[in-house]
């Protein structure tokens, strides 16, 4: 967080021309704290060791993005990331300020089960961003939320997503049972959806 706090005043508005509409930048400003290339490389190399431990696969760096600062009203619509570069990813929550309620990251696993994760500053979330739908559909309520994103793929394999899973890979789940709403529909990360499994 020290880099962010020392450079937060230098945040610029992120340009979204041609990048799509998965972030509602036209309703809520999104700012960007730039990181020098040399520092980005050091950070991404170090973070890759954690992601390789999680995946059990040698990986290569493809992108380190952020620090992105979301502000009151921000949302991320459900999406997946680029297949050729975003096989294994992580989110680092760098900072939060004056939130009225937690702003959950929503990740659908391979069985299409929704996982709503509450993050605190310093927390990491590992996810397969090209394979698993992810979002923050509930608007951010309150101040600001800062994330850094790191992305990797198997070494020398930009077509990794076209290959069969290696032997021993667990089968994807197909039936998660019936799910039902309990509580308020906007009670994210508070057990609002309960499934049989």
Q: Is the model's pLDDT at 22 over the cut of 90?
A: no
Phi-psi region for residue 40, left (φ > 0), alpha (ψ -120 to 50) or beta? alpha
Strand, helix or coil for residue 59: strand
Query: Rounded to an integer, what distance in angstroms lies between the CA atom of residue 82 and that of residue 84?
Result: 6
DSSP secondary structure string, 97-145?
Answer: EEESS---EEEE-TT--EEEE---TT-EEEE-TTTS-EEE-SPP-EEEE
Contact 103, 136 (CB under 8 A): yes
Q: pLDDT per residue over 61-104, tens digit each?
A: 999 988 999 999 999 888 888 888 999 999 999 999 999 999 99
Q: Which residue has the higher pLDDT, 189 or 156?
A: 156
> How much of the chain exceeds pLDDT 70, in percent?
81
Tell me the average pLDDT across 32-53: 94
Six token digits for residue 122: 């310093």
Give yes or no for residue 176 having a pLDDT over 60.
no
pLDDT for 11: 87
């Amino acid at each position: 967080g020290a880099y962010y706090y020392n450079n937060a005043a230098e945040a610029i508005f992120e340009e979204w021309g041609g990048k799509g509409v998965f972030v509602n930048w036209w309703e809520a400003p999104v700012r960007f704290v730039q990181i020098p290339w040399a520092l980005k490389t050091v950070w991404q190399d170090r973070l890759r060791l954690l992601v390789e431990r999680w995946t059990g696969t040698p990986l290569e760096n493809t992108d380190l993005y952020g620090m992105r600062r979301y502000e009151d009203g921000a949302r991320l619509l459900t999406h997946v990331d680029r297949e050729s570069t975003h096989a294994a990813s992580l989110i680092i929550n760098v900072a939060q300020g004056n939130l009225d309620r937690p702003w959950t990251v929503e990740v659908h696993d391979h069985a299409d089960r929704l996982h709503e994760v509450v993050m605190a500053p310093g927390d990491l979330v590992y996810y397969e961003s090209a394979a698993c739908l992810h979002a923050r559909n509930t608007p951010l309520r309150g101040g600001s939320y800062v994330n850094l994103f790191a992305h990797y793929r198997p070494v020398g394999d930009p077509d990794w997503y076209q290959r069969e899973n290696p032997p021993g890979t667990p089968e994807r789940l197909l039936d998660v049972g019936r799910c039902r709403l309990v509580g308020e529909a906007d009670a994210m990360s508070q057990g609002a959806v309960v499934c049989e499994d």
